[in-house]
Amino acid sequence: MKLLEVKDVTKNYPGTEILSHIELSLAPGESLAILGRSGSGKTTLLNLLAGLDTPDSGEIYFDQKPIHTLKESELAQLRGKHMGFVFQSYRLLEALTALENVCLPLELLEKDHAIQTASDLLAKLGLESKINQFPHRLSGGEQQRVAIARAIVHQPKLIIADEPTGNLDHRTGREVSDLLIESCKKFNIALLVATHDTELANKVEKRVELFDGVLKSV
C-alpha cells in the first residue's frame, strides 16, 4: 500500500514551469530524500505534497485521499493529525518553552497527558534539562531537536522536512539527521526530506533528484 502517491503533477508560475510531470510514491514507514540545488523546486514540491498549494495538473494522494481536491478545512485536519513538519529555520514559537512547543500538536488534537508525553519525548532526545528553556536560550542543534520532537510527538504518518540541517554546522547536522531518521524508524513514520546535503540523503532508503523541474532516481 502507498502512503503518498504523486501522478503526473505539473506546477507553473507565470512564464516558468517549476515542476514537470512529477511521479513519486512513498510507502508507510519509508524514507525518501529529494536532492536538488537551491531554486530547483524542492520547496514547491513539498508544499504540494502537504496540501499547502495545488498542482496545475496531475493528482496527489495521501493515504488514498485525493489531497489535490480537498477543501482547506479538510487539508488542515489531515496535516494536523497525520503530518509533522521540520524546517531549516526551526520555526519554534519564541513565546513558548521547549516543552510548550512540543505539547502544542497534542493540545490541538485534544490528546490526554500532553505534558507527560512531551516531557518523556524530550528526555529521550537528550533535552530533559532544557524543557523549560525558551528557544532563544537554546543552541541551533537543540532548537532543531525540539522541532523534531514537536513533529513526531503525535506520531503522524508522515514527516516532511525541508533542509533540516541547513542552518547547522557539519557535526551538529549529522547528529540531528541521525536523530530524525532514527526517530521516524522507531515510530514507523514515513520521512520525506528535501535537502542538498548528500550525506543526509545517503542515510535514507530512497533518493531522487530534482533538476530543471524534472524528478529522476539517483
Continuous H helices in the chain: 42-49, 72-82, 98-108, 114-124, 140-152, 170-186, 198-201
Residue spans of the domains in the chain: they are: 4-217
How much is the pLDDT for 206? 95
Q: How far apart are CA 165 and CA 154, in angstroms?
A: 22
For residue 162, give every residue at least 6 positions away whose Cβ sits within 8 Å of its Cβ, in sequence order, or none: 42, 43, 46, 85, 86, 87, 88, 193, 194
Dump pLDDT digits (tens) for 12-62. Answer: 988 888 999 999 999 999 999 999 888 888 999 999 999 999 999 999 999
Reported as half-sphere exposure (CB side, CA atoms, 13 A), residue 54 has a value of 10
Each residue's pLDDT tens digit, 71-123: 999 999 999 999 999 999 999 999 999 999 999 999 999 999 999 999 999 99
Mean pLDDT of all residues belonging to the chain? 94
Within 10 angstroms of residue 217's Cβ, the number of other Cβ atoms is 7
The CATH superfamily assigned to 4-217 is P-loop containing nucleotide triphosphate hydrolases (3.40.50.300)
Pairing of strands 214-217, 190-195: unpaired
